[in-house]
Every structure is written in C-alpha cells, then in structure tokens.
Amino acid sequence: MTAASLEISGLTAGYGQTRVLEDVSFVSPAGARLAVLGRNGVGKSTLLATIAGQTRRHAGEIRLGGVDIVGKDSASRAWLGLGYVPQERGIFPSLTVEENLFVGLKDRQRSAVDEAYAMFPRLKERRRNRGNQLSGGEQQMLTTARTILGRPSVLMLDEPLEGLAPVICDELMAALMRLASGGDMTILLVEQRIRAALDFADQVLILERGRVAWTGTPAALRASPQTIERLLGVAAMPHSVD
C-alpha cells in the first residue's frame, strides 16, 4: 500500500462518559512523520486508540485517505490500511515468532516474513520461540514488525522504543524513516524519548489535557525551550531534545 493522508477534525473521545480528548484537529499529509508528544496522561495513547476505533468517540471526524472511517470497527479500519501498534503489544503468547508474523501478513505470501527478519535480525534468531519466551524488547520488535508486514498506509506506534536497546532503537527509527520517505506509509509516533521523536518527525503535535496545545516542526520546537518546558516539562534535561 502507499501512504495515505490522515485528517482529524473536532475529535472528542474517551472512555464511557469520561472525555479525554477535546476537539482535537490536525492533518497529516500522505508520507508525513508526525510525533505526538505531551506529559503523562494527556491523552496520547487515547488519541491513537480512538483513531484505531478502540475508544468511545463523542464527536468529530476521522478520514483515512479522504475516506470517513468513524462508522467502521477496528478490524475494518485495519483492512482499510490503518496499522496500530498499541503499548500493550498484543502478541500471541502460545504462537511462535514466525506464526505471530504470519498473522500480520493479511493476504501476502508467507515469504514476506523475510522483510521482518531483515528489519529485526533478532526475530529471525528467535523465530521458533514462542511469544511468551521473548523479552519485552523482543515482543516490541515482534508487534511492530507484524504490523508493518500488513503494509498499512498509515502506521500508528505507541512508544515503540520502550524496552529496546539503543542500537535497536536506532535501527527501528531508520527503518521507519525509510518507509515514510519512500512514500510507503504515513507515520504517527507517540514517544517518551523526545530526542528520538524529534530526530524522526517532520511535524510535531503536543497535547495538553486532551487538547492540541502546540503544532509545528521539530526545528521550531527545539528553538523554543519555553514551549518544551511548559508542555513537556523537560527543562532540567536540555540535552534530551538536542
């Protein structure tokens, strides 16, 4: 699949009657790399889960490649090209690594799993191990690779670097960069590692208490320490965003 645009307009959503997101709007053009940042609990995960169709939407529109998807369930959104790697990972613990990857292939040939092994050689070494035998970092690689194998047009990743060794973080970010700049995918990245997120992104959106508090480029954010301090609270760690 080729990259698709994602348009969010007036999105208000949450859990049951509780509203977490309030009137969120933004547009990611096809092939964009959007970093979604903000302090703990501001609604970053809820935003991705809402786009994936896994929370209660109270109002607003979600368009994938121009198509309104709010009436579709999660599985239909996935088939329409929306890839989602949640924080909880969601691998199948009793299946092997390779069997888990097969699940992500949709209608592709089984040989396509080699793409996952090229991205994460560690998964190839572990391909006969069961999901419950993997470390946290390996599970993270597996769920990310499995989603990418489905060739989504928009890929949403919720803290994909958590638990990964630094060298694997660099490899994953480089692989994601290639997918976005090759026009294969639009990528939305929620990440606590601000420096890695800013190195990767071409757009930044910062949430505060469920609302869009700031949007701009990574360069503009780096040039505004006050914004970083106010919305991300990392003034004491200036090198974390260098």
Ligand X SMILES: Nc1ncnc2c1ncn2[C@@H]1O[C@H](COP(=O)(O)OP(=O)(O)OP(=O)(O)O)[C@@H](O)[C@H]1O
Give the whole-angstrom CA distance, residue 213 versus residue 97. 40
**Considering the rule CB under 6 A, would residue 140 count as an interface residue with ligand X?**
no
Give the largest Cα separation in the chain, rounded: 50
Residue 48 contacts residue 97 (beta carbons within 8 Å):
no
Q: Which of 44, 89, 126, 193 binds ligand X (CB under 6 A)?
A: 44
54 or 96: CB nearest ligand X: 54
**Considering the rule CB under 6 A, would residue 20 count as an interface residue with ligand X?**
yes
Q: Which of 24, 28, 32, 46 binds ligand X (CB under 6 A)?
A: 46
**Least distance to ligand X from the beta carbon of 151, Å?**
26
Q: Which of 24, 33, 37, 43 binds ligand X (CB under 6 A)?
A: 43
Contacts of 34 (CB under 8 A, 6+ apart): 26, 28, 186, 187, 188, 189, 201, 202, 203, 204, 205
Q: Which of 206, 200, 203, 191 is nearest to 160 (CA)?
A: 191
58 or 124: CB nearest ligand X: 58
42 or 101: CB nearest ligand X: 42
Q: Which of 42, 69, 41, 74 is nearest to 55 (CA)?
A: 74
Q: How many helices (H) and strands (E) does the chain have?
A: 10, 10
Q: Which of 12, 28, 45, 100 binds ligand X (CB under 6 A)?
A: 45
**Least distance to ligand X from the beta carbon of 190, Å?**
6
**Least distance to ligand X from the beta carbon of 159, Å?**
7
**Considering the rule CB under 6 A, would residue 42 count as an interface residue with ligand X?**
yes
Helix (H) or strand (E) holding 123: helix 121-125
The residue count for binding ligand X (CB under 6 A) is: 10
Q: Which of 17, 40, 111, 226 binds ligand X (CB under 6 A)?
A: 40
**Considering the rule CB under 6 A, would residue 41 count as an interface residue with ligand X?**
yes
Structure tokens of 162?
Answer: 């958590």
54 or 129: CB nearest ligand X: 54
Beta 18-28 vs 82-85: how paired, if at all? Answer: unpaired
**Considering the rule CB under 6 A, would residue 15 count as an interface residue with ligand X?**
yes
* Residues in contact with ligand X by the rule CB under 6 A: 15, 20, 38, 40-46
